[in-house]
Chains A and B, each alone.
Chain A
Amino acid sequence: MNPGILSNLWLLPAVPFAAAVVILSLPKSRRKIASGLAIASQVIVLGISIAAFVPTLRTPGFRAVQNFTWFTFGEQTLQLGFVLDPLAAAMLLMISLVGLCIFVFSVGYMADDVNFTRFFAYMSFFSGAMLGVAIANSLLLFFMFWELVGLASYLLIGFWIDRPSAAAAAKKAFITTRIGDMGFFLGMLWLYHGSGTLVFYNDGRGCLEGAGLALLGGSATFIALLIFCGAVGKSGQFPLHVWLPDAMEGPTPVSALIHAATMVAAGVFLVARVYPLFSLGATNGVTSSLTVVVWIGVTTALMAALIAIAQSDIKRILAYSTVSQLGLMMVSLGVGGVAAGIMHLLAHGFFKALLFLGSGSVIHGCHHEQDIRKMGGLRRLMPVTFATYAIGMLALSGVPLFFSGGWSKEEILHATAHWSPSRAPYYLMLAGVVLTALYMTRQMIYVFFGNRRSAAEHAHESPRVMTMPLIVLAIGTVFLSVVLTPAWPWMDDYLTGESAHFSIAELIQPMLFISLVLVGVGIAVGIWLYRKAGEQDRDRAAEVDPLEYAQPAVFRFLANKMWIDELYARTIIAFAWASARLSDWMDRYFWDGLVRGFGAIGQLFGVFTTDMDERCINAGVDETTVGARGLGRLLSGAHSGQIQMYLGVVAVGMLALLLLYAWLA
C-alpha cells in the first residue's frame, strides 16, 4: 500500500486543467510560456504516473481506491472516487509518456500557427480529462471525464476554425459519439437502478464486485451492451466509425494524441474496466454481450482494413488503420483476452502515435501536402522520419521479435483461435493481418521510395524538436517488444494479477509462423503491386491505382468508404431532417399558439391582479377619500388612507385564516 500516492491521484487531472486555465488567460504572444507550461504539466503528470506505477508493480493484484461522497439525497449517497490498479497505472504511464512526446512535437509542428497558445491550452485540457478517465473509480466520474474528453476532442478537431471542413468534422465527431454516449448514459442509469451504486470498487460493495454484480443478475447483459454503445462511439467501431477519418481535419499532433493513442482507446479501456459486467454468468468464457463485442470488432477490423487500401490521404490511411486496430482490441476483449487487448492498446498507443507524428513530419516537410500519390523518394530527404516511420510500420504490420505490435497481435490471435463458439473471427483476423501489411507497404512505397514527385521536390527534414519525439517513440516501440515478449509474460500477469515466470518455449509456437508467413505475403504482394507505381515520375493523382485497374468497381466502393456516409445521409440524417421540419412546423403553428394563449391568459391575470393590488386598492381608497373628505384633504390623507387599507387587509386576512381554522375544526 502506498496511501501517499493514492491521496495525490487527483493531481493527475488537476495539474493539466490548471495549466490549461493559466494558458488560456495568457495573451497570444506568450508562446514560450504557454508551451513551457503545458510541457511542464506533462512532465509532472509523467512523474506522478511513474510514482503510481511502482506500487502496482511491486504487489501482484494491487488495487487501492479512494472514494468520497459527492452529495446525499435523503438515504441515497452519490459517491465518486479514484482507483489505482495495474490497468489504470499502465494506462496512465502510456498516456503521459506518449502525451509528453506529442506536446514536444507540437512545439515544432504548430510553430507558425497564430493560435499557438490556445492549442496548448486545449491539449492540456484534453490530457487532464484523459488521465481522469484512467483513474475514475465511479462510472459517473468516468462518464464526466469521458464527456470532457469528447469536448476537448471537439475543440481540437475544429481547431482551425476558419476551415469549414474542420468545423463540420468537429461537429460530426461530437454528434456521432454522443449517439453512443446516450446508450452509455442509459446503461449507467440502469446500473444504478440495479445495483444502487456506480462506484466500481468499494470494499466489496462496488458495482463490479460480488455483491453488486449479484444484484444485477440477467440485466447485466443489457447494461453491458448499453455501456458498450459508448465504447463503440468513442473507439470508432462500426457502425459509429464514420467520425474518426473525418477527424483528421485537426492538426496532426491532435490526431496522434486523440485519434491514435489515447481517446479512441478509451472505449477499449471502458470495456476492460467494466469487464466483470460483460463476463457475468459466463459459460466457458462466452456471454451474449461478449459475443456482440467480438462480432462488432471483427466487422470493424476487416472493413476498415479494406477501406484503408483504397485511400490516398496519408492521415486517412492511418485513421482507418486505427479503426481496424481498435476492432482488433475489441475482438481480444470479447474472446476473453483482456490482458492481450490492453497490451495491444498500450503498444498501439506508442507505434500509432509514432506513425501519426511521422506523417506529421512528412506533411510538414512537404508543405502541408497530404496526398501520398504526390510524394515519393522521401527516404533520402528525410532519413530520420523514414527510419522511425519504418519501425512504426513494421510494428503495425505485426512483425514479431523486435516490434511491439507483433507480440500483442500474436497474443490476440492466440486468444481468438481458442474462442469456442466459432473459428470464423480467427480466420477473418488472419485476413486482416495480410491487409494491414499490404496497405502499410503501399503507403511506404508511395511516400518514401521511388522517384520524387511534385510535393516531394522541396521536401526537407523536420527540425530537432520534431524528430526527437519520433526517436523516443521509436525506441519505446522497440523497447516494448522486449518488455512484451511472450517468453516472459510479466505484463500479462501484471494485468491479471499473477506472478510471471520465464519460458523460452512460449516464444516459438506454430501460430507465430502462420502470422509471420501472412505478414510476409502482405508485404510481398504490396511490393509486387506498387513497385512500378512508385517509380513513376509524374503525379499519379490522376492515374489509376494498380488495384483500380484490376477491379475498378471494388476499388471505387472502397475509396468511397463503402458509401457508409452516403447511406447515413440518405437514411438517418434525412429522417432527422424530416422530423426536424415537422417539429419546426408543429412548434410554429401548434405549440407556439398554445403557449402564446396560455401566456396571454397569465399576463392578463397578472395585469388584473396588479390592478387589484395597486390601482383598485390605492385608487379605490383614494376615491373613497375623495367622496368622504373632499379634494382638499385628499392630498394629505392619501398615504394614511393607503395604510388603513393595508391594515384592513391584515385584519381581513387574519379573520379569513381563523375561519379556515374554524371550518376545518
Chain B
Amino acid sequence: MIHMRYLQLLKLASPEAVVVLTALVVLSIGLLAKRATFACAFVAGLGLVCAIVAVLLLPDDETLFGGMLVISPLTSLFKITCLALAFFTVLLTGGEKVPRHPGEYLALILLATVGLMLLVGSEELLMIFIGLELLGLSLYVMTAFDKTDVRSAEAGLKYFLFGSTASAFTLFGISLLYGMTGTTGLAAIATRLATTSIQPLLAVAIVMTLVGFAFKIAAAPFHLWAPDAYQGAPVPSAAFIASGSKVASFVVLGKIVLIGFAPAQGSAGWHSMAAGWSPVLAALAALSIVIGNLVALAQSNVRRLLAYSAVAHAGYTLIGFVAGTREGFSAALFYTTIYAVTLIGAFAVVGVVRRETGGDDFSNFSGLASRSPALAGSMAVFMLSLAGIPPLAGFFGKFYLFSTALQAGTNQALLWLVALGLVGSFVSLYYYLLVLKAIFVDVPSLSGAESMRHAPSDFLQCATVTVLAAVVVLLGVIPNVLASRILGAVP
C-alpha cells in the first residue's frame, strides 16, 4: 500500500501544477476577454517561465509512488527543455493570423506541455501511457485547429486515427508486460524480465510497446501521418509536434528500452545479430534513414520536406539507442534536442513566409534573401545544421552520435548503421540545399511577387528566429555547454 504524501506530491509536481493552472487561466481569459490574443500569449509565456523556475527549485533526486513521478537531473533537464520549446511555440503563435479561439489554442499547447513533462518525468508504464495520451489528444486537436482550412481537419483526423491505433498497440503491449511481470514500474520490470524466459510473449510485448513510440517519433514505416500533419496543421502545432513531442518521446523511449527492457537488449551488430529490442530499433532506424531521405528528395513543399527529413532524423537518433550505452543515450538526447531547436526555428521561418506569400512551396521561398536577409540567413543556418555542416550544432550532434555508435560493441559492430547514416546525411544535403537555392538564387516569379502582401515581417518573429539561429550556431561552437550536462545527467 502506497502511503500518500500529498504535500510532497504538490511540491514535487509543482512545475506541472503551474502549467495546468496557467492553462486554466489562459482558457478563462480567452473566454472572457474580447481581443485576448496578446494577453493569452503573454500569460502562457509567463506561466512557462514560472514552470522553468519551479523545475529549477526541485530537489536533485526523488522518486514517488514506485516511479510514477521521478525527479532526477535528467528529468529536470528535459522538463526545462520541453518548457523552453513550448515557450518558443507560444512565441510562434503570436505571429499567426489571429486564431478564432486563441485561449483554447494556447491552453491546448500548455496541456500538451504537461503531457510532455509527465512523459519525461515518469518511469512507470501507466503514467507514461497517460502522458502519451494527454499529449496525443492535445496534439490531435491542435492539428485540426485551423477551421478555415480543410487540410487541417483532414490532417487532424488522420493523425488521430493513426495515433489511436498506435496507442492501442502500445497499451496492449503494456498489458502483456504487466501480465508477464506483474508490475508497471520500469526498474521492477527489468528485474523480473531478467529471470523470466517466456520468449514469444515477450517479443510480442516489446514490439507492440515500441510501435506506439515509433509512431510518436515518426519512424518508418509508422511515419505516414507525419507529412499530412506537418503540412496541414497550423504552423505552431506542426512546430510543436516536430520539436517538443519528439524530444519527450525520445527521452521516454530511451528510458523504456534502456531501463525497462535492459535484459532483452539483443544485439544489432552486423555479424552478431541477436533477438531483442536493439535489432528492432536498428531496423526502424535503417528503414527511416532510407525512406526519409529518398522521399524527401522528390518534395516541392517545404513542410512536407521537413516531415520526411524528420523521419530520417528519427532514424539517426535511434542509432544512439541501438548503441545501448550511456554515451549513446546521451548522444541521442543531445541530437534530438538540437534537432528540436532547429526545427522550431525552421517552422518559424515557414510561418512568416506563409503569412507573407500565402503558401509554403519552394516557389514561395524564392527571393526571401532580398525580402528579409535575417530570416534567409537564419534559415540557411537551420538547413545547414540539419544537413550536418560544421561548425553548426547539427554537425557536432551527428559527429557525437556516430562516434559513440562506432565505439559501442566490439569490432565496430554498428558500422553498417553508421555508414547508412552517413550516406543518408550525404543525400540529405541535396534537398536542404534545394531550399537554400530557392531562398538565395531563384528569382521570384512575377505573379508570386504581385500576390505578396508586403506585410512587414513581425519584429517578434524575426527576433525569435534570430535567437534560435544563434543558439544553433553557439551549440555548434561550444557544444560542451549542453553535451556535458546531458552526459552528466544520464544515469
A: residues with CB less than 8 A from B are 69-74, 599, 602-603, 605-607, 609-610, 613, 639, 642-643, 646-647, 649-650, 652-654, 657-658, 660-662, 664-665
The answer to whether B207 and A657 touch across the interface, beta carbons within 8 angstroms, is: yes
B427 CB-CB contact with A under 8 Å: yes
Residues B274 and A71 in contact, CB atoms below 8 Å apart: no
Which residues of chain B come closer than 8 Å to A647, judged between CB atoms?
A: 161-162, 165
What 1/0 flags go to B192-218 for Cβ under 8 Å of A? 000000011001101110110001000
Q: Are A653 and B222 interface neighbours, CB within 8 A?
A: yes
On whether the beta carbons of A605 and B294 are closer than 8 Å, the reply is yes
Complex Cα distance, B323 from A74, in Å, reads: 15
List the B residue with the shortest CB-CB distance to A611. Answer: B298
For residue B46, CB closer than 8 A to chain A, the reply is: no
12 residue pairs from A and B, CB less than 8 Å apart: A71-B478, A71-B479, A71-B483, A606-B294, A609-B294, A609-B298, A643-B162, A650-B211, A650-B222, A657-B283, A661-B206, A662-B203
CA distance A599 to B407 in the complex (A): 31
Instruction: Quote the shortest CB–CB distance from B266 to chain A (angstroms).
Output: 7
| Residues of the A chain whose Cβ atoms lie less than 8 Å from the Cβ of B490 | none
B79 within 8 A of A: no
**Contacting residues, chain B, for A70 (C-beta < 8 A):** 478, 480
- Given the contacts A70-B480, A72-B484, A650-B169, A610 and B298 also touching, CB distance less than 8 Å: yes
Contacts of A605 in B (CB 8 A): 294
Contact with A along B216-259 (1 / 0, CB 8 A): 00000110110000000000000000000000000000000000
Kindly list chain B residues whose C-beta atoms are within 8 Å of the C-beta of A69.
480
* B297 and A603 contacting across the interface, CB-CB below 8 Å: yes
B162's partner among A613, A646, A654, A658 (CB-CB below 8 A) is A646
A609 to B297, CA, bound (A): 10
Q: Which of A603, A654, A664 contacts B266 (CB 8 A)?
A: A664
A654-B207 contact, Cβ under 8 Å, with A69-B480, A71-B483, A602-B427: yes
* Cα distance, A308 to B406, chains bound together (Å): 59
Q: What is the CB-to-nearest-CB distance from B294 to chain A, in angstroms, rounded to a whole number?
A: 5
Residues of A within 8 A of B284 (CB): 657
Q: Across the two chains, which residue of chain A brings its CB closest to B299?
A: A610
Quote the shortest CB–CB distance from B263 to chain A (angstroms). 14
Residues of B contacting A658 in the complex (Cβ-Cβ under 8 angstroms): 203-204, 207
Asked if B409 is an interface residue, CB under 8 A from chain A, the answer is no
- Any chain A CB within 8 A of the CB of B279? yes
Find out whether the CB atom of A664 lies under 8 angstroms from the CB atom of B169. no
Tell me the minimal C-beta distance from A606 to chain B in angstroms.
3
Q: Which residues of A contact B123 (CB under 8 A)?
A: none
State which of A602, A603, A650 has its C-beta within 8 Å of the C-beta of B166.
A650
B308 smallest CB distance to A (angstroms) = 9
B161 and A606 contact, CB distance less than 8 A: no
Whether B422 is near chain A, meaning CB under 8 Å from some CB there, is no
B25 within 8 A of partner (CB): no
Task: Report chain B residues within 8 Å CB of A652.
Answer: 221
Q: Complex Cα distance A72/B488, Å?
A: 12
- Cβ of B154: which chain A residues have Cβ within 8 Å of it? 639
**Minimum CB distance partner of A78 in chain B:** B480
CB-CB under 8 A for A661 and B483, given A647-B162, A654-B211 = no
Report whether A646 and B480 are in contact in the complex, using a CB–CB cutoff of 8 Å: no
List residues of chain B with CB within 8 A of the CB of A642. Answer: 158
Q: How many angstroms from the CA of A150 to the CA of B202 in the assembled complex?
A: 63
Neighbouring A residues of B199 by C-beta, 8 Å: 665
- With a 10 A CB-CB cut-off, give which of A599, A602, A606, A647 has the most chain B CB atoms: A606
Q: What's the minimum C-beta distance from B234 to chain A, rounded to whole angstroms? A: 20
Q: Name the prevailing secondary structure of the B interface residues.
A: helix
Q: Are A72 and B480 in contact (CB under 8 A)?
A: yes
Q: How far is it, in angstroms, between the C-alpha of A607 and the C-alpha of B162 when the chains are bound?
A: 25
Residues of B within 8 A of A71 (CB): 478-480, 483-484
Contact of A643 with B158 in the complex, beta carbons under 8 Å:
yes
Given B169, B200, B224, B276, which contacts A649 in the complex, CB threshold below 8 Å? B224
Residue of B nearest to A658 (CB): B207
CB distance from B326 to the nearest CB of A (A): 11
Residues in chain B near residue A607, CB distance under 8 A: 297-298
Distance between Cα atoms of A661 and B266 in the complex (Å): 10
Partner of A654, one of B208, B276, B294, B478: B208
Name B residues whose Cβ lies closer than 8 Å to a Cβ of A.
Answer: 154, 157-158, 161-162, 165-166, 169, 199-200, 203-204, 206-208, 210-211, 215, 221-222, 224-225, 266, 273-276, 279-280, 283-284, 291, 294-299, 327, 403-404, 407, 427, 430, 478-480, 483-484
Docked complex Cα distance between A375 and B154 (Å): 86
Closest A residue to B478 by CB, please name it.
Answer: A71
Q: Which of A603, A610, A649, A664 has most chain B Cβ within 10 Å?
A: A664
Given contacts A650-B162, A661-B207, A661-B279, 8 further A-B contacts (CB under 8 A): A69-B480, A71-B479, A603-B297, A603-B298, A610-B295, A643-B162, A650-B215, A654-B208
Chain A residues with CB under 8 Å of B283's CB are: 657, 660
A38 to B193: give the CA distance in the assembly, Å: 70
Nearest CB on A from B332, distance (A) = 15
The 7 closest A-B pairs by CB, nearest first: A606-B297, A665-B275, A71-B480, A664-B275, A653-B221, A610-B298, A661-B203
A643 neighbours in B (Cβ, 8 Å): 157-158, 161-162
Contacts of A603 in B (CB 8 A): 297-298
A232–chain B nearest beta-carbon distance, Å:
29
B203 to A606, Cβ gap below 8 A?
no
Q: A643-B161, A647-B165 are in contact. Are A602 and B297 (CB under 8 A)?
A: yes
Complex-state Cα separation, A610 to B294, whole angstroms: 8
Give Cα A71 to B158, complex, Å.
44
* Nearest residue, chain B, Cβ from A654: B211
Known: A649-B224, A660-B279. A609 touches B291 (CB 8 A): yes
Contacts of B275 in A (CB 8 A): 661-662, 664-665
Residue of B nearest to A598 (CB): B427
Check B161 against A664 for contact (C-beta < 8 Å): no
By a CB distance below 8 angstroms, the chain A residues around B207 are: 654, 657-658, 661
Which residues on B sit within 8 Å (CB–CB) of A661? 203, 206-207, 275-276, 279-280
| Given contact pairs A654-B169, A658-B207, A646 touches B295 in the complex (Cβ within 8 A) | no
In whole angstroms, how far apart are the Cα atoms of A609 and B210 in the complex?
25
Bound Cα distance A661, B210 (Å):
13
Task: Say whether A649 contacts B158, CB under 8 Å.
Answer: no
Contact of B200 among A72, A602, A610, A662 (CB under 8 A): A662
Residue ID in chain B nearest A606 by CB atoms: B297
Say how far B235's CB is from chain A's closest CB, in angstroms. 22
Contact across chains for B483 and A72 when beta carbons are under 8 A apart: yes
Return chain B residues, CB-CB under 8 Å to A653.
211, 221-222
Q: How far is the CA of A12 from the CA of B211 in the complex (A)?
A: 57
Which residues of B have CB within 8 Å of A657? Answer: 207, 210-211, 280, 283-284
User: In the bound complex, how far is the Cα of B208 from the Cα of A74, in angstroms?
Assistant: 35
User: Closest CB of chain A to B13's CB: distance in Å?
Assistant: 34
Chain A residues positioned under 8 Å from B274 (CB to CB):
664
CB B413 to nearest CB in A, in angstroms, measures 14
Complex interface: chain A residues within 8 A of B403 (CB): 73-74
**Chain A residues, Cβ within 8 Å of B291:** 609, 613
Closest Cβ neighbor of B267 among chain A residues: A664
Inter-chain contacts of B266 with A (CB < 8 A): 664
Docked pose: A69 CA to B165 CA in angstroms: 49
A639 to B404, CA, bound (A): 43
- Minimum CB–CB distance for B469 against chain A, Å: 18
A264 to B484, CA, bound (A): 39
Could you tell me the distance between the alpha carbons of A662 and B484 in the complex, rounded to whole angstroms? 39
The complex places the Cα of A547 from the Cα of B111 at a distance, in Å, of 91
Question: Cα distance A73–B400 when bound, in Å?
Answer: 8
Contact of A649 with B273 at beta-carbon distance under 8 Å, contacts A602-B427, A658-B203 already known: no
Q: Nearest residue in B to A647 (C-beta to C-beta)?
A: B165
Name which residue of chain A comes closest to B400, CB basis.
Answer: A73
Expressed in whole angstroms, the Cα–Cα distance for A598 and B276 within the complex equals 36
User: Could you say which residues of chain B place their CB within 8 Å of the CB of A646?
Assistant: 158, 161-162, 224-225
- Cβ distance B372 to chain A, nearest Cβ, rounded Å: 19
A34 to B317, CA, bound (A): 49
What is the CB-to-nearest-CB distance from B350 to chain A, in angstroms, rounded to a whole number?
Answer: 21
